[in-house]
Amino acid sequence: MRTLWMALCALARLWPGTLAGCAEAGRCCPGRDAACFVRGWRLDRVYGTCFCDQACRLTGDCCFDYARACPARPCIVGEWSPWSGCVDQCQPAARVRRRSVQQEPRNGGAPCPPLEERAGCLDYSTPQGQHCGHSFVPAFITTSAFNKERTRQAASAQWSTVTEDAGYCMEFKTESLTHHCAMENHPLTRWMQYLREGYTVCVDCQPPAMNSVSLRCSGDGLDSDGNQTLHWQAIGNPRCQGTWKKVRRVDQCSCPAVHSFIFI
């Protein structure tokens, strides 16, 4: 390639104008553009029509200087915005975060990654500050990773320092689930794929999902005898739902991370 480049430069000194290329013509076109051509040398050492469009790499008819004149530029995006609040209060909803494009991809550069992410959520107070959200049936669950983002601020002022560390874990054996759970492949909903029939899962009950009076999480099945079929639903995809039976209540969850969830 270097030898070819030197030969073409020498040719240009002998016959000015014969080394026309993308740079001289000022052309760099996205996709396949039949009008994006000049008369000059191609990389296969043929003089004639050569192209300065993105598709010329595939068709092999690029001008000799395409790589230099039209370098690939990947998409560059900014940082994620903070998570929004829940779209609705006192019912399962979604939160959103977004990021913007700082540089569009050019000349075959890497495309832009997703610019928006959604995840399930549930707020326990109305805009007026009224507490709500503990009368839900079935049990609403999400990945235990969400607990790292959930703050005690959402719990309400009813929590005292005495009960602040209250919490417990429920173990269930899954009985059935819809096929929609296995279809989730987005980063923030992929956890649903690990819900499987016949597996034992752990669901942590912590504030603010825990009622400050009863110290219970809605749908925890604590009063069932172990033979009763209980219902659950994944936050973030209402079609991902199923049934399970209570195994036991323990102080701390000990299931593998992929089988650990939280009431929400």
Which H, E and C letters describe the chain, residue by residue? CHHHHHHHHHHHHHCCCCCCCHHHHCCCECCCCCCCEEEEEECCCCEEEEECECCHHHHCCEECCHHHHCCCECCEECCCCCCCCCCCECCCEEEEEECCEEECCECCCCCCCCCEEEEEECECECCCCCECCCCCCCEEEEEHHHHHCCCHHHHCCCCCCCCCCCCEEEEEEEEEECHHHHHCCCCCCHHHHHCCCCCEEEEEECCCCECCCCCCECCCCCCCCCCCCEEEEECCCCCCEEEEEEEEEECCCCCCHHHEEEEC
Structure confidence at residue 166 (pLDDT): 66
Structure confidence at residue 150 (pLDDT): 56
Structure confidence at residue 11 (pLDDT): 52
Structure confidence at residue 124 (pLDDT): 63
Structure confidence at residue 250 (pLDDT): 93
Structure confidence at residue 113 (pLDDT): 93
Residues of the chain with pLDDT under 70: 1-19, 89-92, 122-137, 147-166
Going from N- to C-terminal start, the domains of the chain cover 19-71, 76-123, 139-149+167-263
Structure confidence at residue 244 (pLDDT): 92
Structure confidence at residue 90 (pLDDT): 66
Structure confidence at residue 10 (pLDDT): 54
Structure confidence at residue 200 (pLDDT): 94
Mark 76-96 as b/e (b = at least 16 C-beta within 10 Å). ebeeeeeeeebeebbebbbbe
Structure tokens, 145: 């990773």
Furthest CA-CA distance within the chain: 95
CATH tag, 76-123: 2.20.100.10
